Every structure is written in C-alpha cells, then in structure tokens.
Structure 1
Amino acid sequence: MLADLSPLIAATTQWLTYSYPSGGGALDSTLSDVQARQGVTVAAWLRYPTPMDAALVGMAGPGGSARLDWITGADGAAYETGADAADEYAWRTWVDEVVASWAACLLIDSALATTAVAALADCGHMARSPVEFRRLVAPDERDRRAAALLRHPDLLAPIADLHRAGLMDRLKPGEALTA
C-alpha cells in the first residue's frame, strides 16, 4: 500500500501553479511553486495525518481536478479523448479537491497557515524529518510578488470556499492530530 502522499502533493501543487501561474521569470516561478507546495503539503498532512489515511487515499484515489477546473474556467482540452491526451493529463487524476481548497485557504491567510503548521507539531509526518514552512507562513515581499495570483484572496476565494469549513473544523483548538 502507498503510504506516501507525494503523488497527491505533486499533482495538487501542479494544478495550483498551472491555474494561478507566476507572472515573472524562472525565479518567480520557482518561488511560486515552493509556496504552493508548502501550502499543499500542510493541507495534505492535515487531511491525511496517519499512514493509514495516506494508504487509503492511495488506494481509492483523491478524485481529480474536474470540479476545480470547471470552477476556474479551465478549457476542455484537459478532457479530450485519445491516448496522447490521457497521458498528458493523467496527473490531474491525482489532484485532491479538498487539499487544493485547504491549501488555497492557507495561501491567502498567513495567520491561518501558522495555526495549521502548529497543528502538525505532533503529526507523524513532521516526525520523519524537520520541515520548514517559512515561505507559506511568513512570505517576504519577493515571495508575495512571485505568487501574486496564487495568494490573491479574490481569485482563490471560489476554491478556498469549497472546503474552508472542513479546515476550520480540523483546526479546532484542543484537538490533537493522531500520529
């Protein structure tokens, strides 16, 4: 069983950076990608805190990006038929709508991101290796400029609002995540 969330994290990060791209050059694109990946990682670890949770989503699949694409107005090219189209867009099946929504919430609210990272303190994912989420919780001016679309509250609101209530429930004070 797959107890690793890396395919889900990679696909959901890719969806966010494709949907809300950086407007700058290579450095800005990289900074935007790092911020998206940190937001998605925190969201995924909150959503799937145990190896069993990760294994179950690995078996069942996260659901894909169809609804997110529809909300953001992505063109239908991602759903063309044929072997070439299927290969090119197969990664979209690993996008997790809830994780994308939670990551959007974290990207537009640094205080909420700080709370979410603190909630992971006793999580099994954090115990495996030390991880820093500075670009998510305390972005500097360069980070904000690089990810202007990715952190824009009005642009991300339709995605963030999908599952914000679930994130807020998950972050209730006094509830510890199971490791």
Structure 2
Amino acid sequence: MPTDLSSVIAATARWLTVAYPASGGALASALCEAQARQAVTVAAWLRYPTEMDAALVTMAGPGGAARLDWITGAERAAEDGEGDDWAWRTWVDEVVASWAAGLLTDPELAALAVAALADGEHTAGTPAEFRRLLTPDDGDRRAAALLRHPDLLAPVVELHLDQLLDRLGPDSTLAA
C-alpha cells in the first residue's frame, strides 16, 4: 500500500499558490511555492502522522478543493478551465490547506507545528528543514505577501484551526 503523501502535498501547495499567487515574476513564484510546500508538508505530516494514515488517505483520496474554491470565490475559475487539467484539484486536502494557511500566518503556531514533528514517523532518520516557513527573509515575505496575509487567509484558517490546536496540544492555545 502506498504511503507517500507527495500527491496531496503537491496538489494542496498548488491550490494555495493559485488562490494566493506570488507577485513579482518567476523568482517570486518559486519563493512563494517553496513556502507553501513547506507549510503544506508540515500540515500533511501532522494530519497523517503514521504510514498507515498516509496509506489510507492515498487509497481513499483527500476530498478535493471544492469547498476551498467556494470559500475563496475560485469555483467559477475552476469550472472555466477549458482544456486545462483540473484533476489535480481532487488531491487537495481541505484540512491540510487550512492548517498550512494557519502556519503561514502565525509564526508561533508554525514553530509549534514543526517542533511537534520531531518524534514523528515522517522525520525519523531524516532531518527536515523548514527555514522558509519558520524564518522567512524579506524576499520570501514580499514574494508571498498574499499567501501570508492573515486577513486574506482567515476564512481558510478558521475552517479547521480548532483541530490543529487540538493536534498540537495545550501549548498551542498561545497562538490562537
């Protein structure tokens, strides 16, 4: 049974960067995508902490982007994708997107989430670095101005923030 979350991570990061695009060209797009991918990776590893969890979501599917599109007003754009391949949207995980949005807009919450991964199966034996998520420089912040804007991401964050705080434990209430 596959235990790789790469499809969920790639699709959810893509959804975030399509919904909250970079401003400023190819380098800005790459920096924005790197931040989204790091946030989504942390969120996915928290949401599916074991190989069995990852295998189950891979087998059943994560649910897709329909509700996220509706909340952000992107549903018409998705339907109008004449000839475009929109199948990737079925691999978007709403909870992971919500959690990642929370991590991108709250540095304290992001630090708690990365710390929570330390003893997990996904990071065992492999050091994971999330510098662009945890300590973005000015270039990162400019590139992802929309992606890190708390007011813009609030509707997405609020969808599943309580679940994220529960997953992180009592210390996470400081970030709420």
TM-score interval w.r.t. the shorter chain? Answer: over 0.9
**Offset from partner CA, 1:117-169 (integer Å, 9 cap, x none):** 00000001011422100110111111111100000000000000000000000
Q: 1:149 to 1:54 in 2, by over 3 A?
A: same
Partner of residue 117 from structure 2, selected from 100, 117, 120: 120
Partner of residue 108 from structure 1, selected from 105, 123, 134: 105
Amino acid at match of 1:41: T
Q: Please give the secondary structure, in 2, of the residue aligned with 1:125.
A: coil
Find the counterpart in structure 2 of residue 132 from structure 1. 129
Cα shift at 1:71: 0.5
Where do 5+ consecutive residues of structure 2 fail to align? 172-176
> Which shows bigger deviation, 158-167 or 73-82?
73-82
**Offset from partner CA, 1:86-125 (integer Å, 9 cap, x none):** xx10000000000000000000011110000000000010
Find the counterpart in structure 2 of residue 63 from structure 1. 63
Find the counterpart in structure 1 of residue 158 from structure 2. 161
Cα shift at 1:75: 4.0
Cα distance in 2, alignment partners of residues 97 and 69 from structure 1: 10
Cα distance in 2, alignment partners of residues 135 and 81 from structure 1: 31
* TM-score (norm: length of structure 1): 0.91
Cα distance in 2, alignment partners of residues 130 and 152 from structure 1: 29
Cα distance in 2, alignment partners of residues 22 and 80 from structure 1: 22
Amino acid at match of 2:158: D
* TM-score (norm: length of structure 2): 0.93
Find the counterpart in structure 2 of residue 52 from structure 1. 52
How many equivalent residue pairs?
Answer: 171
Q: Please give the secondary structure, in 1, of the residue aligned with 2:124.
A: helix
Q: 1:154 to 1:52 in 2, by over 3 A?
A: same
Find the counterpart in structure 1 of residue 26 from structure 2. 26
Cα distance in 2, alignment partners of residues 31 and 149 from structure 1: 13
Find the counterpart in structure 2 of residue 146 from structure 1. 143
Where do 5+ consecutive residues of structure 1 fail to align? 175-179
Cα shift at 1:79: 3.1
Find the counterpart in structure 2 of residue 170 from structure 1. 167
Cα shift at 1:81: 9.4
Amino acid at match of 1:166: Q
> Which shows bigger deviation, 56-65 or 71-80?
71-80
Residues 53-92 of structure 1 mapped to structure 2, 5 A cutoff: 53-79=53-79, 84=83, 88-92=85-89
